[in-house]
Amino acid sequence: MRVLGGGSNVVIADAGVDALVLHIALRGVTARESDGAVELTAAAGEPWDDLVAHAVARGWAGIECLSGIPGLVGATPIQNVGAYGQEVSETIIAVRAIDGRTRQAVTLPPSACGFAYRDSRFKSVEPGRYVIVSVTYRLRAGAAPAVRYADVQHELERRGIDAPTLTDVRDSVLAVRRSKSMVLDPSDPNRRSCGSFFTNPIISAAEAERVVALAGESAMPRWPQPDGRVKLSAAWLIERAGFRRGEREGAVGLSTRHALAVVAHDGARAADILAFARRLRDRVRERFAVTLAFEPVVWE
């Protein structure tokens, strides 16, 4: 059995899959106040961006920077969805699921979810074991928005906003995402992609210095992590490995606006997408001895 939500982060083999595909279509949103906060529960089939808009419109802070991300609520804990300085693991307080081993409904606290950077127990430790049916987020009523990311800050400054509201931050995030072809827009030639195809690699500090030396650029973008490791920019590595935005191989290529997005043009097949992505990964490994990990789920 395979579980399919919105399909925005899945690459399915051209031949399909030999499996029962369970499409999540559960709907419903409820909220309740608790100790000065708001506990927002959404069924797994709710469109994620609709839920973000719902929270922002009511002044509930905690997920405003996750605006514009396609897909459904049920996928957010699996991927530990994050963008522009926020991750859902910061607000998730409960994941309701069906345990495929026991066939019983269970409620998992955050401590049982194994959240990590773009990862969770549901994705890499026990993939396929749980069918998520709802997620509860603890949001802050009336709190200030999170502005932790330079691109969002620059967009707010461009608009002349010094004291942004949740709506201001949501609008700025959407504008930044749109500038990178990272929102669903039928008129955008880069629209058919899985978004970021690779996660940003996190390596040791010593390895990061080795990459700096190989690149010959002391200003290489990198972000120290709490555990002492360093996060690198996958997009920067791809471009320094010799790929250009907009570069194409047949019906597949990089987005003209973002080196992390692999775009499927007319006639592209899943095999073409995966072959191109693997060439990107192999070139980066050859150039920097860093292995990029796919962010989409691949059904083969």
End-to-end CA distance of the chain: 13
Instruction: Please identify which residue in the block is written with the tokens 């978004």.
Output: 195
CA distance 230 to 233: 10
Beta bridge partners, 262, equal 254
Tokens 């089939």 sit on residue? 45
Bridge partners, 297 (sequence order): 10
Distance in angstroms (rounded) separating the CA atoms of residues 127 and 2: 10
Active site includes 196? yes
Of the candidates 196, 222, 255, 281, the residue annotated as catalytic is: 196
Q: Which two tokens stand for residue 284?
A: 């980066």
> What's the token pair of residue 19?
């499996």
Distance, in Å, from the CA atom of 225 to the CA atom of 203, rounded to the nearest integer, reads 10
Backbone phi and psi for residue 203, each to the nearest 5 degrees, phi listed first: -130, 175
Sheet containing strand 252-254, edge to edge, reads: 193-196, 261-264, 252-254, 248-249
How many C-beta atoms lie closer than 10 Å to residue 249's C-beta?
A: 11
Asked if 135 and 81 count as a contact pair (C-beta separation under 8 A), the reply is: no
Q: Is 118 a catalytic residue?
A: yes
Both tokens assigned to 75: 């996928």
- Measured from the Cβ of residue 299, the count of other Cβ atoms closer than 10 Å reads 15
**Which two three-digit tokens encode residue 8?**
């925005």
Marked catalytic residue, from 96, 118, 138, 177: 118
Just list the catalytic residues.
118, 196, 295
